[in-house]
């Protein structure tokens, strides 16, 4: 891939430091990248849209693990998935005596359109069982358990963004750290997992960086982070 390849980049664990904060060095790198940049995340849409805004790049976003796609260039906003079905799963989970694990206000889910996230400190097996009963799945991003429709993925979201931009998904360099990035890795032309990635992302990547977190991002794109 050349330095001008369009990028599809995860946020948590990829643009962040080991404590979960955005590494400030990544912001000018994203702003100055000479090809389209797509932010692909499990977070709800306001987070990556705000990131694009404050970085100073066009809002090209795949959010909620593919459930939400936004492309400012073409004034596109698409939703895939069934939030009500996901809510039925988490309601049943709570009725069974478990908790979503968030505060009462629940900023994690407040703006979600297509899925529901559960804290990783909560029991996974009963959540997966209830989700399966409802025809849904649970994806572990390393930061939360996401209850979602099985036909929704970051990879499909990237295909939509690429189509809106008139690009082939195979033109993209995808960088990530989690099993929810595997589908992106599968459609991109080159896939790079940062060193802190989980086993699923490591197995799906074309290459793995020696450095972790944001330092791995810089290694993946061939830039000096200094």
Which active-site residues does the annotation give?
10
Give yes or no for a contact between 138 and 124, defined as CB atoms under 8 angstroms apart: yes
Cite the annotated binding site for substrate by residue number. 154
Give yes or no for a contact between 91 and 111, defined as CB atoms under 8 angstroms apart: no
CA distances from 152 to 18, 65, 205, 223 (A): 28, 7, 20, 32
DSSP label of 121? T
CA distances from 111 to 1, 115, 145, 219 (A): 36, 10, 16, 33
Separation of alpha carbons 153 and 205, rounded Å:
17
Cite the annotated binding site for Mg(2+) by residue number. 10, 12, 177, 181
């Amino acid at each position: 891939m050349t330095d001008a390849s369009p990028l599809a980049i995860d946020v948590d664990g990829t643009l962040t430091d080991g404590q979960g904060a955005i590494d400030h060095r990544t912001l000018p790198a994203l702003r100055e990248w000479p090809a389209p940049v797509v932010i692909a995340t499990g977070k709800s849409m306001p987070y990556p849209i705000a990131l694009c805004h404050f970085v100073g790049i066009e809002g090209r976003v795949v959010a909620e693990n593919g459930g939400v796609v936004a492309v400012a260039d073409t004034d596109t906003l698409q939703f895939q998935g069934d939030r009500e079905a996901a809510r039925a799963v988490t309601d049943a989970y709570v009725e069974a005596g478990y908790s979503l694990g968030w505060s009462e206000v629940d900023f994690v889910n407040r703006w979600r359109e297509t899925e529901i996230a559960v804290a990783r400190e909560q029991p996974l097996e009963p959540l997966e069982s209830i989700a399966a009963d409802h025809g849904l799945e649970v994806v572990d991003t390393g930061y939360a358990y996401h209850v979602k429709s099985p036909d929704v993925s970051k990879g499909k979201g990237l295909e939509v963004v690429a189509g809106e931009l008139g690009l082939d998904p195979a033109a993209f360099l995808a960088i990530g750290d989690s099993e929810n990035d595997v589908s992106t890795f599968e459609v991109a032309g080159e896939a790079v997992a940062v060193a802190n990635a989980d086993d699923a992302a490591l197995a799906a990547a074309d290459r793995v960086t020696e450095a972790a977190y944001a330092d791995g991002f810089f290694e993946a794109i061939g830039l000096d982070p200094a």
